[in-house]
Amino acid sequence: AADRVREIVATRENAHGIRLGIKKGGCAGMEYTVDLVTEPNPKDDHIERDGAHVYVAPEAALFLFGTEMDFEQTTLRTGFTFKNPNQSSACGCGESVELKPADLKALAEARAS
């Protein structure tokens, strides 16, 4: 995914990275959003990995906490994919998902033990 984010940024004027978010939609209830960032929002969480800059919308942070992002290119589909521990189900086509907020208390307790 980092390679693809860097490619996108390199080919767009004034691009800083991509912004991940969620929106209501699809048969499972929510969809991931990926948008180009030309002006970073100071309220977004900023993640830099291997030179790729990813911003996370504050309203999506609890739903995306722990998510692994990849880029997949197959004969049927090209795009970012998400492995999200907060996803409880998905529609058959994979375009929409059901998400629950991350349980921060449980995560903190697991790290403490």
Counting the structural domains of the chain, the total is 1
Residue 92's pLDDT is 63
pTM (predicted TM-score):
0.78
CA geometry: angle at 35 spanning 31 and 39, to 5°?
140
pLDDT for res 93: 62
pLDDT of residue 94: 60
pLDDT, tens digit (0-9, with 9 covering 90-100), for 68-82: 999 998 888 888 988
Residue 72 sits in a domain of what CATH number?
Answer: 2.60.300.12
Provide the domain limits for residue 80: 2-112
Per-residue pLDDT of 19-73, as tens digits, reads 999 988 777 678 889 999 999 999 999 999 999 999 999 999 988 988 999 999 8
Q: Supply the DSSP string of 60-89, one letter for each residue.
A: GHHHHTT-EEEEEE-SS-EEEEEE-TTEEE
Please give the helix or strand (H or E) that residue 30 lies within, else none: strand 29-37
